A and B are shown apart, each in its own frame.
Chain A
Amino acid sequence: RKEVEQDPGPFNVPEGATVAFNCTYSNSASQSFFWYRQDCRKEPKLLMSVYSSGNEDGRFTAQLNRASQYISLLIRDSKLSDSATYLCVVNMVTSGTYKYIFGTGTRLKVLA
């Protein structure tokens, strides 16, 4: 089983739609969680950190479920500019070292 798993998509949605992505992780001792956005041939950029209580930033809402070991990202009122790959990143301790493990990413295409 992969340490961090995501549905690769693509998710093709019309403008204005609401779309949700999930990500599961295998290490119950994972420390912190993030969603990054990566545009084609570019480096990942932080979209938001994910906190236990859930957090919201404008049209984006992230949630963490430690019991079930998954995190989610909800995008409301999708814009064309939201088209990108969304990477789930989990920070976990393995062999005494903190590592950031990336999911495969979920591709989102917002259609006009």
Chain B
Amino acid sequence: GAVVSQHPSWVICKSGTSVKIECRSLDFQATTMFWYRQFPKQSLMLMATSNEGSKATYEQGVEKDKFLINHASLTLSTLTVTSAHPEDSSFYICSARGLAENTGELFFGEGSRLTVL
């Protein structure tokens, strides 16, 4: 099946620093990638939809200037958490679907666990 790789798996940073998370589709081209955040014992919450070559679409309540998304190629999307604070500590997961598949299954990265001290 399709593979999505996410890096880093774990990151611990100091408050005020920025953290970049990468999401790569390894064996298929992903025109659309989705970024989710999951707090303990809660479900995945969609943060934004990342479209190759255009601006990301952010969900209500998600600050686009704080969570910068770049989708410069068909195989790579990045999420940068700028000026991270302890409340940003969470499990961030990216997912992707293949070309011309608006309703197909999602393929998930392994997730990135962010801890902000």
Q: A and B, one complex?
A: yes
State whether the Cβ of B67 lies closer than 8 Å to any Cβ in chain A.
no
A18 to B103, CA, bound (A): 30
Interface residues of B in 68-104 (CB under 8 A from A): 91, 93, 95, 102-104
- Known A-B contacts A41-B91, A44-B108, A45-B108; the reply to A98 vs B44 at CB < 8 A is no
Contact B111 A42 (CB under 8 A): yes
Number of interface residues of B (CB under 8 A): 23
Binding stretch for chain B, among A52-60, A76-84, A99-107: A99-107
State whether the Cβ of B116 lies closer than 8 Å to any Cβ in chain A.
no
Secondary structure type dominating chain A contacts: strand
A89 to B105, CA, bound (A): 10
Contact A31 B102 (CB under 8 A): yes
Contact B91 A101 (CB under 8 A): no
B contact residues around A91 at 8 Å (CB): 102-103
Interface residues of B in 102-117 (CB under 8 A from A): 102-106, 108-111, 113
B contact residues around A104 at 8 Å (CB): 42-43
Number of interface residues of A (CB under 8 A): 22
Contact B108 A31 (CB under 8 A): no
* 20 new A-B contacts at CB < 8 Å, known A43-B108, A97-B57, A100-B46: A32-B103, A32-B104, A41-B91, A41-B113, A42-B110, A42-B111, A43-B110, A45-B108, A91-B102, A91-B103, A98-B32, A98-B102, A98-B103, A100-B34, A100-B95, A101-B46, A102-B44, A102-B45, A102-B46, A104-B43
Chain B residues within 8 Å of A, Cβ to Cβ: 32, 34, 36, 42-46, 49, 57, 91, 93, 95, 102-106, 108-111, 113
